[in-house]
Amino acid sequence: METKETKAKYQEWLSPEIIHKASLNWLSELKFIKDEQLFFDDLIKSYTLQLIDSKHYKKSKDIIDKLSELKKDTKTIIGIVENHEHDLKILVDGVDQLKEEEAYRKEHLRLIIDVSSFLEKYRGIKKQVFKLIKGIIKEGKQKRLLP
């Protein structure tokens, strides 16, 4: 017996207001992340000597490389969301452009997934950064307490 692959046909109706609010929320969160990345840069500069210590070097290099990649991805995704927000006029211009409107809504659904996966990836890296720095700070305190 052969199985047939089926695709879900259900699609929530996304009004222009909902799309607009979602896009603005994404932009707000992404711009905050961009600012937060500047904080991480300063944090890494503050603990550079400890991060390049042979004990932490490999792990810290991996995390710093991921942060650099995320910085580029952040700029890219901000641009994509800004363009998406700008193109919202397709839905509200009063002209019936069914194919363009459907394509726009499909793009929005794709962006929901892309932005969500980016945010999840970013939170994971953020946890790694804090865990690494926390360990370094604890080690520093222990060294100062021991005679």
At 86 the three-state DSSP class reads helix
CA angle 68, 73, 74 (to 5 degrees): 95
pLDDT in tens, 45-96: 998 888 888 787 888 899 999 999 999 999 999 999 999 999 888 877 777 7
pTM for the model: 0.81
DSSP annotation string for 36-80: HHHHHHHHHHHTHHHHTSTTTHHHHHHHHHHHHHHHHHHHHHHHH
Domain coordinates in residue numbering, the chain: 16-145
Q: Which amino acid is at 95?
A: V
C-beta separation of 75 from 83 below 8 A: no
Q: Which of 5-14, 81-90, 93-102, 117-126 has the lowest mean pLDDT?
A: 5-14
Mean pLDDT of the chain: 86
The answer to whether the beta carbons of residues 37 and 70 sit under 8 Å apart is yes
Higher-confidence position of 24 and 144? 24
What are the tokens at 25?
């929320």
Helix, strand, or coil here: 13?
Answer: coil
